[in-house]
Amino acid sequence: MSHFSQIKTKILNIECLQEALSDLGIGWKAGASQVRGYQGQTCTSELIIEQNNGYDIGFKWNGKEYVLVTDLQYWQQNLTVECFLRKVTQLYACRSILKETSKAGFQVVEQKNNADGSIRLVVERWSS
């Protein structure tokens, strides 16, 4: 029986996920690797966050989205799983918006982290 939990996300773009994790100061490794779990169990994921306790966090493509894969019993992050996912998802969304608006010719005018934890983005595009 597997100890791994799989938590659904709305994450679709691995590059934006990598940038979001880097923004949070979280080290990660890309490429198909094994997430280490309880009693030597493993699970293949496309992105791995190694923890000091020998149990990893992974993001695995399920055909529709990336799911977080880990043994929750050995979670060793400064944030709870819920807070971790909320922060990652927020920065992922910000990175996705910046990527898509840039493709459409927009430039960032303002990016501000508000006291309530929200992020204010203002973009503009000049047309001739």
**In the chain, what are the domain boundaries?**
5-96
The alpha carbon dihedral of 13, 14, 19, 20 has a sign of positive
CA dist., res. 103 & res. 73, Å (int): 41
Residuewise pLDDT in 10s, the chain (128 residues): 568 999 999 999 999 999 999 999 999 999 999 999 988 899 999 999 999 999 999 999 999 999 999 999 999 999 999 999 999 999 999 999 999 999 999 999 999 999 998 999 999 988 76
Please state the length of the chain: 128
pTM exceeds 0.85? yes
